[in-house]
């Protein structure tokens, strides 16, 4: 399937009423992200049978509610700029959020019938896929794209945003608030209408029963001396072991499993859950490929558990203290890029299926483009109950080996 996403129009959405213009200080957990690519997310929504012109109505409704949400979340509508000392700051100036309308000549049902399995053209359904780092004060910090389908059966809401403004927890806080503003405006429809290597990206679904079974297998294979394993720990261990098995490297090669952890509750005193900005820390644990192949699932889960336990305020302050005083190139000199790295981002706890603009929750939520070898983006399964969806990128040969490994999805 090789479809073309056609851009129809672009406009700027500003806060529905002017916000106070000012410059906002950016702490190290925020401005560090100037050197990294924008994040993209896509939400697939199915629409009821629409009467004439109502497709334009729901888009106008989205724009109006976005403008209302931007009053409280005004940093999204601002722009970053570089101060005389070279440090970034945020100019809260209501410059606005680009809102893009697009179209793909394809029935929405074609994707729905395929379970919304990843397709390469998905990367064109969210803005800023070509942004690799912050490049200047004209670059928007958030852009929105609505991609419509043949006969308006459904649409994709695409988000492209700078990590300078917000982490994943803050993004979904904003998305839920946007949806609530949409609800305040009334129904949108008339009454009565309801690496350098070529990477392959693929979506894997783990049912709640599969996750429970992995937790039981991990506990049974390492029964004493630890706190019970969580779903994240057991499934992370399963992923790490099978991904490194699929990777064509020697058994003596070091492999690292890295987490992007929400640190709000781990600070002293804890940050409020509604803290808007970046409050995440990246840390990993390392083992040789041969060790992972020889040890039990529980032993690998224990590595993940101990990694999570070490994620505390001291670790975070140490990292971002370095960011405040050292150039990024100096910090990166401390990193070992010779290891085979796998990284988990996003979270199966994010309320991605609570975003309901009036036509029901999304049928699928995905990352339209994963840029790095071994990167995973985790989401809750659409049916809930502890199910988990994982988008993963690997070199094509490794992905083929993983997909055809009988023990990966059958256990």
**Domain assignment present for 21:** yes
CA dihedral 390, 394, 399, 405 (to 10 degrees): -60
- pLDDT value at residue 185: 63
DSSP track, 182-229: HHHT--SS-TT----SPEEEEEEEE-HHHHHHHHHHHHHHS-SSSPPP
**Domain assignment present for 295:** yes
> Do residues 144 and 212 share a domain?
no
User: Is the distance from CB of 404 to CB of 394 less than 8 angstroms?
Assistant: no
**Domain assignment present for 334:** yes
- Residue 39's H or E segment, with its range, is strand 39-46
> Do residues 137 and 244 share a domain?
no
3-state secondary structure of 246: helix
Instruction: Look at residues 184, 215, 230 and tell me which one is the last residue of a structural domain.
Output: 184
User: Is the distance from CB of 403 to CB of 390 less than 8 angstroms?
Assistant: no
Residue recorded with tokens 């309901």: 356
> Do residues 134 and 88 share a domain?
yes
> Do residues 42 and 9 share a domain?
yes
State the Cα angle at 184 between 15 and 18, rounded to 5°. Answer: 15
- pLDDT value at residue 53: 47
> Do residues 237 and 101 share a domain?
no
**Which pairs with CB-CB distance under 8 Å and at least 24 residues apart come from 72-78?**
72/177, 73/174, 73/177, 73/276, 74/15, 74/19, 75/24, 75/141, 75/165, 75/166, 75/276, 76/141, 76/142, 76/161, 76/165, 76/166, 76/174, 77/14, 77/15, 77/19, 77/141, 77/142, 78/24, 78/141
Q: Which domain holds residue 234?
A: 199-349+369-409
User: Is the distance from CB of 24 to CB of 90 less than 8 angstroms?
Assistant: yes
How are beta strands 375-380 and 340-346 bridged, if at all? Answer: parallel
Q: How far apart are alpha carbons 19 and 71 in whole angstroms?
A: 7
**Domain assignment present for 361:** no
Q: What is the DSSP letter of 23?
A: E
**Domain assignment present for 256:** yes
> Do residues 245 and 384 share a domain?
yes
> Do residues 156 and 233 share a domain?
no
> Do residues 87 and 205 share a domain?
no
Q: How far apart are alpha carbons 310 and 321 in whole angstroms?
A: 18
Residue recorded with tokens 């390392």: 286
- For residue 72, give the nearest of 176, 167, 168, 160 by alpha carbon: 176
> Do residues 141 and 34 share a domain?
yes
3-state secondary structure of 313: helix
Maximum alpha-carbon separation in the chain:
65
Q: How far apart are alpha carbons 15 and 65 in whole angstroms?
A: 10
Beta-bridge partner residues of 245? none
Instruction: Look at residues 184, 216, 242 and tell me which one is the last residue of a structural domain.
Output: 184
Joined together, the tokens standing for residue 389 give 């969806």
**Domain assignment present for 194:** no
User: Is the distance from CB of 378 to CB of 236 less than 8 angstroms?
Assistant: no
User: Is the distance from CB of 395 to CB of 199 less than 8 angstroms?
Assistant: yes
Q: How far apart are alpha carbons 279 and 276 in whole angstroms?
A: 8
Residue 129: give its domain's CATH number.
Answer: 3.30.559.10
**Domain assignment present for 208:** yes
> Do residues 149 and 208 share a domain?
no
Is the Cα dihedral 384, 387, 223, 261 positive or negative?
negative
Domain count, the chain: 2
Mean pLDDT, 10 residues at a time, over the chain (411 residues)? 89 96 94 93 87 71 95 97 93 98 95 95 95 94 96 93 96 94 67 63 97 95 82 98 95 95 94 93 96 96 96 91 84 84 96 92 96 96 95 96 94 90
| pTM of the complete model | 0.86
Joined together, the tokens standing for residue 380 give 């809750």
- pLDDT value at residue 240: 98
> Do residues 177 and 242 share a domain?
no
**Domain assignment present for 354:** no
Interaxial angle between packed helices 208-221 and 231-246, expressed in degrees from 0 to 180 and rounded to the nearest 10: 90
> Do residues 131 and 241 share a domain?
no
- For residue 264, give the nearest of 155, 391, 168 by alpha carbon: 168
Joined together, the tokens standing for residue 274 give 């509604």
- Residue 174's H or E segment, with its range, is helix 168-184
Residue 195 has a CB neighbour count (10 Å cut-off) of 12
Instruction: Look at residues 154, 184, 214 and tell me which one is the last residue of a structural domain.
Output: 184
Q: What is the DSSP letter of 263?
A: -
């Amino acid at each position: 399937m090789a479809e073309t996403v056609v851009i129809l129009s672009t406009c700027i959405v500003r806060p529905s009423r002017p916000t106070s213009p000012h410059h906002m200080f950016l702490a190290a957990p925020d401005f560090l992200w100037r050197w990294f690519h924008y994040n993209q997310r896509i939400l697939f929504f199915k629409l009821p049978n629409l009467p004439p012109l109502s497709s334009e109505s729901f888009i106008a409704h989205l724009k109006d509610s976005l403008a209302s949400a931007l009053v409280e979340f005004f940093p999204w509508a601002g722009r970053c700029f570089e101060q005389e000392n070279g440090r970034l700051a945020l100019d809260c100036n209501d410059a606005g959020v680009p809102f893009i309308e697009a179209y793909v000549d394809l029935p929405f049902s074609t994707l729905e019938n395929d379970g919304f399995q990843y397709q390469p053209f998905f990367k064109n359904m969210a803005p800023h896929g070509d942004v690799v780092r912050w490049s200047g004060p004209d670059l928007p910090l958030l852009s929105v794209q609505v991609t419509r389908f043949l006969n308006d059966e459904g649409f994709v809401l695409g988000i492209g945003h700078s990590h300078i403004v917000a982490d994943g927890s803050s993004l979904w806080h904003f998305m839920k608030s946007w949806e609530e503003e949409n609800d305040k405006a009334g129904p949108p429809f008339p009454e009565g209408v309801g690496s350098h290597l070529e990477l392959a990206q693929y979506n894997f679904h783990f049912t709640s029963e599969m996750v429970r079974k992995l937790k039981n297998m991990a506990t049974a294979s390492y029964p004493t001396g630890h706190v019970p394993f969580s779903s994240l720990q057991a499934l992370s261990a399963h992923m790490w072991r099978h991904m490194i098995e699929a990777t064509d490297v020697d058994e003596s090669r070091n492999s690292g499993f890295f987490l992007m952890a929400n640190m709000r509750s781990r600070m002293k005193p804890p940050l409020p859950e509604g803290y808007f900005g970046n409050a995440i820390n990246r840390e990993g644990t390392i083992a040789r490929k041969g060790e992972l192949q020889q040890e039990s699932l529980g032993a690998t889960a224990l590595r993940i558990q101990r990694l999570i336990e070490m994620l505390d305020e001291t670790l975070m302050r140490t990292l971002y203290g370095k960011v405040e005083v050292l150039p990024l190139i100096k910090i990166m000199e401390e990193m070992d890029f010779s290891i085979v790295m796998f990284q988990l981002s996003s979270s199966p706890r994010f309320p991605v299926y609570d975003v309901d603009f009036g036509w029901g929750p999304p049928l699928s939520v995905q990352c339209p483009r994963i840029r790095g070898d071994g990167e995973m983006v985790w989401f809750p399964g659409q049916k809930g109950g502890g199910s988990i969806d994982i988008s993963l990128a690997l070199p094509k040969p490794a992905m083929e080996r993983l997909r055809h490994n009988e023990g990966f999805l059958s256990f």
